[in-house]
Amino acid sequence: DSGVTQTPKHLITATGQRVTLRCSPRSGDLSVYWYQQSLDQGLQFLIQYYNGEERAKGNILERFSAQQFPDLHSELNLSSLELGDSALYFCASSVEGGPLWGYTFGSGTRLTVV
Amino acid sequence: KNQVEQSPQSLIILEGKNCTLQCNYTVSPFSNLRWYKQDTGRGPVSLTIMTFSENTKSNGRYTATLDADTKQSSLHITASQLSDSASYICVVSYTDKLIFGTGTRLQVFP
């Protein structure tokens, strides 16, 4: 167990729907990062939050949004889902505002859009 | 452009054999380089992390090397086991950002 908790583990939904993925960072970590990994592809950085504030943005679609709550857990919201959004979504956390050292991944949420 | 390239894309070896995975990067300024192991459908797990001044770092049967002058790193796996079958990802950090390689998929057969 890495200490980073992601729920749900699996999610199947239809096109056009909206889903919310949840991430609880490792105890003491202030930063949360979201990544998308499509089949046989590398990890694509989506967005980072640090202590409740958006810190960095990657290749995140406008249909996607995220937030980090006062208890430091984070949610990634995916709306108007398309078949191409099917992927593994990973959350990672670190202590500092940047991933210079401790950087831990969760076990991911597998999203299938049908 | 900051990039991390890994080779080979995929590799098949027999159990008990050694192998070496390569990572070349053009990231600047360089902070550190990490190797991760990712089992299929699971989150990446850190194997090693090296700074500019470190040439070699080991973690059990995994040994990573870094040549900061040529901007190359390698991950050597000794006496491979079936459980080593996974993707191995090289990640380079600069300032407060990470650049991910696309990984090498290793399959170990009995």
CB contact under 8 A, A107 and B43: yes
What's the pLDDT tens digit per position in A66-107?
999 999 999 999 999 999 999 999 999 988 755 556 678 999
B29 inside 8 A of chain A by CB = no
Residues B104/B87, Cβ–Cβ less than 8 Å: yes
Residue B28 confidence (pLDDT): 83
Residue A101 confidence (pLDDT): 61
Half-sphere exposure of B5 (CA within 13 A, CB side): 6
> Tokens 């090289």 map to which residue?
B90
Tokens for B27? 């990231």
Residue B99: pLDDT band by 50, 70, 90 thresholds? Answer: confident
B59 inside 8 A of chain A by CB = no
Residue A102 confidence (pLDDT): 66
Q: Which positions in chain A touch B97 (Cβ < 8 Å)? A: 56, 98-99
Q: Who has greater pLDDT, A31 or B29?
A: A31
A39 inside 8 A of chain B by CB = no
A52 inside 8 A of chain B by CB = no
What's the pLDDT tens digit per position in A17-47?
999 999 999 998 999 999 999 987 788 989 9
CB atoms within 10 A of CB A7: 12
**Bridge partner residues of A32 (DSSP):** A49, A93
Distance CA B77, CA B90 (A): 14
- Residue of chain A nearest B30, judged by CA positions: A100
Residue A2: pLDDT band by 50, 70, 90 thresholds? Answer: confident
What's the pLDDT tens digit per position in A45-65?
899 999 999 988 988 999 999
- Which residue type occupies A50? Y
CB contact under 8 A, B102 and A42: yes
Q: Which positions in chain B touch A41 (Cβ < 8 Å)? A: 102
B106 inside 8 A of chain A by CB = no
- Residue of chain B nearest A87, judged by CA positions: B41
Residue A94 confidence (pLDDT): 87
B7 inside 8 A of chain A by CB = no
CA B45 to chain A, closest CA, distance in angstroms equals: 7
Nearest Cβ partner of A100 from B93, B102, B103? Answer: B93
Q: B97 pLDDT exceeds 70?
A: yes
Q: What is the largest CA-CA distance in chain B?
A: 42
Residue B66 confidence (pLDDT): 96
